[in-house]
Amino acid sequence: MTKRPSPQLPFITRLKLVIYSFFTSIAIRKNRTVNRHFLSLIDPTAKSNPNPKSGVCTSDLNIDPSRNLWIRIFTPKKEEKKGQKLPLIIYFHGGGFVFFTPASRSYDSWCRRICSELQAIVISVNYRLAPEHKCPAPYDDGMDVLKFLDSGQIDSESVEILSGLDLDLDLENCYLAGDTAGANIAHHMARRWAVSIENWEKIKIKGIMAIQPFFGGEERTEAEIRNQYMPVLTIPRIDWYWKAFLPQGADRNHEAAHVFGENSPKLEELFPPILVVVGGFDILKDWQLKYYDWLKRQGKNVKLVEYPEAIHAFYAFPNIEDSGKLIEVMTEFIGKQKSD
């Protein structure tokens, strides 16, 4: 019997993934509801902190308390970047549209790394989650954050951690970024921004960083079959996420998931340059490559970076070598877009 290929992971990383998979499987129910109370016990959170931690200051800002729409702002510590214009990254976390917030410790740590190592201001969005809030709720929340930023309501006077930097947000050097479901949101945000370009006064999206984007369809791909026993994601889990997120009665060929379908509308002319990151052991790999090929056929400026040994969500583990390589690629991508 042929041995199934397996990624080489540090023991502590493999243990964390097993624990995550076990407890989240308990939290999701067959009737497509989620035990949020149980999740609150197993998803450790980090409070915002205006004092430097790992070289980064953070602050939370409410945008619409009625729907719990808020953002966490990450800035490099004051004395290092005072008076300099920094790139702005609007980040959408992953979790199958179902799990996590910007305060989840894993995403607080990841956004701190991005902020510190890319030397950028990061705004992490707390969008509404499925199944309580189905498609297009996260897209609507993302758009409202963009509109809030475009209105100029965030500046060095309204946000304490920005005042020490002696700068306002550089909305003309803005990037959308996200991992898995968050990368899906970033794609749809970019389309909405591009189709309504005349309505934006300040914000200019220079690029998108789509880390292992979550797309799909009704067919089963080779990667889904080959990698269905990898950590974090399984075929039943993927199907559960889509059923929880997509509108009632929709299948996985819905435009939110199957963005590259035969009947998909042509991408907008101003759709920004995009970095697509793929992992060789990711169950979603083939859908991500289909996305890349579709972008190329549409004539878009797209860069593909593939890590053959990477699992789904590899970037969240600093002890995985490819996680550090990804930070370098993201830095280069922003540098290139800024110079173009």
Q: What was the pLDDT predicted at 340? A: 72
Contact yes or no for 322/307 (Cβ under 8 A): yes
Mean pLDDT for the chain?
91
Q: What was the pLDDT predicted at 187? A: 98
Residues 78-94 have pLDDT tens digits of 655 556 789 999 999 99
Does residue 166 carry a pLDDT above 80? no
Residues 141-159 have pLDDT tens digits of 999 999 999 998 776 666 7
The lowest-confidence range among 55-64, 262-271, 276-285 is: 262-271
Q: Which two tokens stand for residue 272?
A: 């920004």
Residues 249-271 have pLDDT tens digits of 999 999 999 999 887 788 999 99
Q: Mark 210-234 as b/e (b = at least 16 C-beta within 10 Å).
A: bbbbbbbbeeebebbeebeebbbbb
Distance CA 300, CA 295 (A): 5
